[in-house]
A and B are shown apart, each in its own frame.
Chain A
Amino acid sequence: MSNQTHRAAQGGIVDRSRTIGFTFDGKRYEGHAGDTLASALLANGVHLVGRSFKYHRPRGILTAGSEEPNALIQLGDGPKTEPNLRATQIELFDGLVASSQNRWPSLNFDIGSINNLLSRYFPAGFYYKTFMWPPSFWMKYEYFTRRAAGLGKAPEAPDPDRYSKTFAHCDVLVVGAGPAGLAAALAAGRAGARVILADEQPQLGGSLLASTDQIEGKSADEWVVDALAELGRMADVRLLPRTNAFGYYDHNYLTLMERVTSHLASPASHLPRQRLWRVRAKQVVLATGAIERPLVFADNDRPGIMLANAVSTYVRRYGVLPGRRAVLLTNNDGAYRAALDLAEAGGTVAAIVDLRPEVSGPMVDAVRAKGIEVLANHAITGTSGKLRVDGVTVMQLARGGVFGEPRSLSCDLVLHSGGWTPSVHLFSQSRGKLKWDDALSAFVPGVAAQVQRSAGGCCGNLSLGDCLDDGHSAGAEAARDAGVSGDAGRAASALGGDFIPAPPVWIVPSDKPVGHNGKHFVDFQNDVTAADVLLANREGYRSVEHLKRYTTMGMGTDQGKTSNINALGILAEAQSRPVPEVGHTTFRPPYTPVTIGTFSGDDHGDLLEPVRRTAIHHWHEGANAPFENVGQWHRAWYYPKAGEDMHAAVNREARAMRTSVGIVDASTLGKIDIQGPDAAKLLNFVYTNAWSKLDIGRSRYGLMCGEDGMVFDDGVTTRLGEHHYLMTTTTGNAARVLGWLENWLQCEYPDWKVYCTSVTEQWATVAINGPMARRLLGELTSDIPLDNESFPFMSMREGSVAGIPARVFRISFTGDLSFEVNVPSSYGHALWTALMAAGEKYQITPYGTETMHVLRAEKGFIIVGQETDGSTTPQDLGMNWIVSKQKGDFIGKRSYARPDTARGDRKHLVGLLTENASEVLPEGGQIVAELKDKPPMVMLGHVTSSYFSPNVGRSIAMAVIKNGRNRMGDTIFVPLADRTIRAKVVEPKFFDLEGTRIDG
């Protein structure tokens, strides 16, 4: 037995044979396996573990669970450091490094505690009333307030650990493995249900792990061992310790965070640190227990002031004596148990200060039998001690205040208990309605909104027997309602004390008015006092939500688990209204904080979103092509030769294509196979032009618009057979277009016989462009005649290319002679390399998307999404010719007749030529007709595409500008941040104006 000065000689379920070393604020300590950081620190006599958020007051450990508001710790260091963890939840492991937060230079001496001295100037919401002068200075004040705020520190390097996510389904999900939860899981499991039992603690058993009660003739912790063994034997029961069920969403979908390895010193590398369980349960049993309610008395926040039940837990579960001489302040019998526990473990209880006017009963007799003084009708009116409580002042209660001589009691531990608050968080998240229980002075589950049951402490059933009965029937009924018919057995029977609720005391009176001397803390973490609550109420912040937001009450990392109810009580009392009329704030997920990494799992980095690569991708990589993200695709951008930058490479590629032959990987274009007798009807409906007369083997370009008449996609569609078409779409829009077609076919025209199938991935496409395209292709095919007559522009032929079965389309995105060869994807690479080999003698040049854009811009071809933006009609693009006047109704048609859409002076697509031929306009440049010295200036439109064109020998640009078609020849200006560029409005076409190159 070591330097653990406050470890009791015996007791507890920690493994005393294993001693574990750890450090806190650089100092070495020892604890045992099974300890939490909190219990180990207490075993070493350490209470001071942190500083409060606002006043930097010294703070200790208040609780023994996840509701802890004070003991927030920075765990570890380097990239694995984690801020704001609760010492009460951190499992001790060898080499654990912990430090306190929000203090400088040290925990014992914190400069920030000057705020405490000045605290009278910092009431709730003080910042709304000041820092307004001089007007521009808020940012300067903010610099300091921001630094003062915050708690722990973020890591400075990326998280080296892995997280994972999983889905699960079950008949019955039981949340909480205390008496009610275990009973529920046993009943449901015995009945044969698929059960998941989750509990946030490392050991299942909840309050039973520190209980003195008997179940089925065994001690409570023995019964837990047997129950877990029985559950372990059931094949369809999954036990999830260290798992925080934190969210309850629609249709019985719950989210749980499991700490898989984050509690271990050296975890196995194949396991994730934490795991997100996404559970869909047929039935849910909530057995989330209750949280002890603090009492709001003067200076109730010093280290060494703890909740009574937490002291019991430290004594009985961890074998730790949090203090040697204690005073208990309570309004209920239940807390007497803690005094007995402490006394039995060797501590002294100086007095029990009971707020009730009269006390009697077995618990009172029991403590008196131990020689403990009971001061009924008394209150603690103040506490003393700098970094640890060293005494309390006690006075007698009368008429809502105190009177008589104050009596000082020295002590190193104060226990307090204001009763219990059921944990209705998940019930409320599930949108169940809460009701007020007067006897308990607490909200309990009312009308459920989902298929769930609450059992045990979270319903306000606080005696052990009730919990076991309640849990058993909830589990049995849940299994039955999930359709499982086995025998659920009977509920376990218990021997133990009943819980007798007592009337609440929202503010424990002191000898001075609240706020005048000493601080009655309600929310420890955010330093909200009873006086702050009263101030908010006085100032009109009377709704609970206003109270919360004005004072920050309940907005800390504990989300007010110990404090909200007291604030409600104080507010209600101040307004002379019953608590349920005041209401409660909304319970939101997560129940306790959940690591961001857990939500993200593996879904980041390369797995954030799928990357799509073409069949020819590896060739592009081999050629050192940089890639451009287009939708999910990676497309080769350009192919730099040694020493070339992008500009040089693109100039070379663009020139080469126009002079000889270039090839481009066009596999990413969307391809939709459309079949059925009504296929032409569909095309007529979704495209603006007419499709009825397209011959088999011929292709046609189409613009697709929304019902609002705005262009949303374009592409070439080819008629492959009588009732068979192949539609192409833009790269980014393929899925959207398929969805669009299906939408109309399934919802509006189910009688049309048309079937659409995406075949984008099935085909690899290589476009061969340039004057030598025909000769090159001719060398690789013998069964497709390539002359203009046999194979005219806008048609398709099937045959073989380089020995590969192929569909060849004579369509062109360059204006030059072009063949787009489609082969089954697996042959894509073979086709490309065959073309490169055969093309060597023609100096064949592969080109990427950038050159493709230059080439199409030379011809004035649009790119949907670049020349258009969702507010562009075909007419705006000067493509009136593609909007059929003859055919019947089609998508978009009606909208063209709307006054604004029919306007003649909308923004039109035009070309721009800069006055300085070598100057390239920046894309996105805004255009004005009238130049001013400085903004604002009236804008006409913007530059949509702009390049240097080696084939035209100058820069070229396309733009959309107001009334552009009537501004031909005008000079416009593009004012940039550093210069202004002048340009002339021209037709949007710059090369091969007569269109003679298309046939080679």
Chain B
Amino acid sequence: MLLIDCPYCGPRAELEFSCGGEAHIARPLNTEAISDAEWADYLFMRKNPKGTQYERWNHARGCRRWFNVARDTVTHKIYKVYKMGEPKP
């Protein structure tokens, strides 16, 4: 069970959080103009890396804040926790 250092509450067990998947996927601004394929890319296509993944977590059973985590998908080591809006490390 992961120990996740919520930037607002401190380290808490994974049980208190829910994972929101890949981070830094910006919603296209020009949805009318983009192709179906580009829209599908935003909707469905994911990096799903074997290694470091940048992902969103929500402290759902705590402060309910969303934040980002850089985590290794093989070792589960967490390299960094950072707030929404902060740049990718």
Could you give, for residues 3-38 of chain B, a 1 whenever the CB lies within 8 Å of some chain A CB and a 0 otherwise? Answer: 100000000010000001000001110011010100
State how many angstroms separate the Cβ of A885 from the closest Cβ of chain B: 12
Question: Are A449 and B20 interface neighbours, CB within 8 A?
Answer: no
Question: Are A748 and B13 interface neighbours, CB within 8 A?
Answer: no
Question: Are A895 and B3 interface neighbours, CB within 8 A?
Answer: no
Task: Select one of A449, A746, A894, A895 contacting B75, CB under 8 A.
Answer: A449
Question: Are B3 and A253 interface neighbours, CB within 8 A?
Answer: yes
Question: Are A250 and B36 interface neighbours, CB within 8 A?
Answer: no
B interface residues, tally (CB under 8 Å): 25
* Chain B residue, CB-CB nearest to A758: B64
C-alpha spacing A739/B60, complex, angstroms: 8
- Residues on A with C-beta less than 8 A from B80 are none
Say yes or no: is A923 at the interface (Cβ < 8 Å to chain B). Answer: no
* Chain A residue, CB-CB nearest to B29: A889
Whether A750 contacts B39 in the complex (CB less than 8 A), given A251-B2, A251-B76, A894-B31, comes out as: no
Could you give, for residues 847-869 of chain A, a 1 whenever the CB lies within 8 Å of some chain B CB and a 0 otherwise? Answer: 00000000000000000000000
Question: Are A746 and B27 interface neighbours, CB within 8 A?
Answer: no
Say yes or no: is B54 at the interface (Cβ < 8 Å to chain A). Answer: no
Say yes or no: is A984 at the interface (Cβ < 8 Å to chain B). Answer: no
Say yes or no: is A317 at the interface (Cβ < 8 Å to chain B). Answer: no
Say yes or no: is A707 at the interface (Cβ < 8 Å to chain B). Answer: yes
Question: Are B43 and A250 interface neighbours, CB within 8 A?
Answer: no
Say yes or no: is A104 at the interface (Cβ < 8 Å to chain B). Answer: no
Interface residues of A in 555-601 (CB under 8 A from B): none
- Residues on B with C-beta less than 8 A from A324 are none
Task: Select one of B3, B26, B66, B75 contacting A280, CB under 8 A.
Answer: B3
- Residues on A with C-beta less than 8 A from B39 are 894-895, 898
Question: Are A743 and B66 interface neighbours, CB within 8 A?
Answer: yes
Whether A747 contacts B76 in the complex (CB less than 8 A), given A253-B1, A707-B43, A898-B36, comes out as: no
State how many angstroms separate the Cβ of B33 from the closest Cβ of chain A: 10
Taking Cβ atoms with an 8 Å cutoff, the residues of A that contact B are: 167, 249-253, 278, 280, 431, 449, 707-708, 739, 742-743, 746-748, 750, 889, 893-895, 897-899
Question: Are B1 and A251 interface neighbours, CB within 8 A?
Answer: yes
Dominant secondary structure at the B interface: loop
Question: Are B66 and A250 interface neighbours, CB within 8 A?
Answer: no
C-alpha spacing A431/B74, complex, angstroms: 11
- Residues on A with C-beta less than 8 A from B26 are 748
Question: Are B36 and A249 interface neighbours, CB within 8 A?
Answer: no
Which among A251, A431, A739, A897 has the greatest number of chain B C-beta atoms within 10 A?
A251
C-alpha spacing A249/B15, complex, angstroms: 14
State how many angstroms separate the Cβ of A12 from the closest Cβ of chain B: 42
Question: Are A742 and B66 interface neighbours, CB within 8 A?
Answer: yes
C-alpha spacing A889/B32, complex, angstroms: 8
* Chain B residue, CB-CB nearest to A449: B75
C-alpha spacing A708/B40, complex, angstroms: 9
Can you list 14 pairs linking A and B with CB atoms under 8 Å apart? A167-B13, A250-B1, A250-B76, A253-B3, A280-B3, A431-B75, A708-B43, A742-B64, A743-B58, A748-B27, A894-B32, A894-B34, A895-B39, A898-B36
State how many angstroms separate the Cβ of A36 from the closest Cβ of chain B: 33
Task: Select one of B28, B43, B58, B78 contacting A895, CB under 8 A.
Answer: B43
Question: Are B58 and A250 interface neighbours, CB within 8 A?
Answer: no
C-alpha spacing A746/B85, complex, angstroms: 9
Whether A899 contacts B1 in the complex (CB less than 8 A), given A280-B13, A739-B60, A743-B20, comes out as: no
Which among B1, B3, B13, B58 has the greatest number of chain A C-beta atoms within 10 A?
B1
13 more A-B residue pairs beyond the given contacts A167-B13, A708-B43, A739-B58, with a C-beta to C-beta distance below 8 A: A250-B76, A251-B1, A251-B76, A253-B1, A449-B75, A739-B60, A743-B66, A746-B66, A746-B84, A747-B20, A750-B85, A897-B36, A899-B36
Whether A249 contacts B27 in the complex (CB less than 8 A), given A739-B60, A747-B66, comes out as: no
* Chain A residue, CB-CB nearest to B85: A750
C-alpha spacing A991/B58, complex, angstroms: 46
- Residues on B with C-beta less than 8 A from A899 are 36
Could you give, for residues 58-89 of chain B, a 1 whenever the CB lies within 8 Å of some chain A CB and a 0 otherwise? Answer: 10100011100000000110100000110000
C-alpha spacing A532/B79, complex, angstroms: 47
Question: Are A889 and B31 interface neighbours, CB within 8 A?
Answer: yes
State how many angstroms separate the Cβ of B27 from the closest Cβ of chain A: 6
Question: Are A750 and B43 interface neighbours, CB within 8 A?
Answer: no
Question: Are B64 and A747 interface neighbours, CB within 8 A?
Answer: no
C-alpha spacing A889/B39, complex, angstroms: 14
Question: Are A249 and B56 interface neighbours, CB within 8 A?
Answer: no
